[in-house]
């Protein structure tokens, strides 16, 4: 990446997250990638798979405390004293 920037073959597009853009044409080769999503009740699993191997995998935990937090907030609003 640093070599591409020094030779003028790429430019910086963004620093956070660090992203570069190539300034030359690349090959037209494309690779078939399947995105698989498994939605569970507490965890969502995502993966990107080619014919040969898994390229990306992630697990996302679903928050289960939202309902309790909303009920707690509702209780605070009900017991709020009225100032005159």
Asked if residues 49 and 36 have their Cβ atoms less than 8 Å apart, the reply is: yes
Question: 21-49 burial, b for 16+ CB within 10 Å, e for fewer?
Answer: eeeeeeeeeeeeeeeeeeeeeeeeeeeee
pLDDT for residue 38 is more than 70: yes
Per DSSP, the three-state class of 72 is helix
Residue ranges of domains in the chain:
2-25+32-78
pLDDT for residue 43 is more than 60: yes
Q: Which of 9, 39, 42, 43 is nearest to 26 (CA)?
A: 9
Three-point CA angle 77, 78, 82, nearest 5° = 85
Position 77 confidence tier, pLDDT thresholds 50, 70, 90: confident
pLDDT for residue 58 is more than 80: yes
């Amino acid at each position: 990446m640093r070599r591409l920037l020094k030779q003028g073959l790429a430019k910086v597009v963004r620093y956070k997250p660090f992203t570069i853009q190539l300034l030359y044409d690349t090959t037209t080769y494309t690779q078939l990638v399947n995105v698989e999503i498994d939605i569970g009740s507490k965890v969502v699993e995502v993966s990107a798979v080619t014919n040969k191997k898994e390229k990306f995998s992630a697990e996302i935990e679903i928050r289960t405390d939202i309902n309790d937090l909303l009920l707690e907030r509702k209780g605070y609003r009900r017991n709020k004293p009225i100032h005159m």
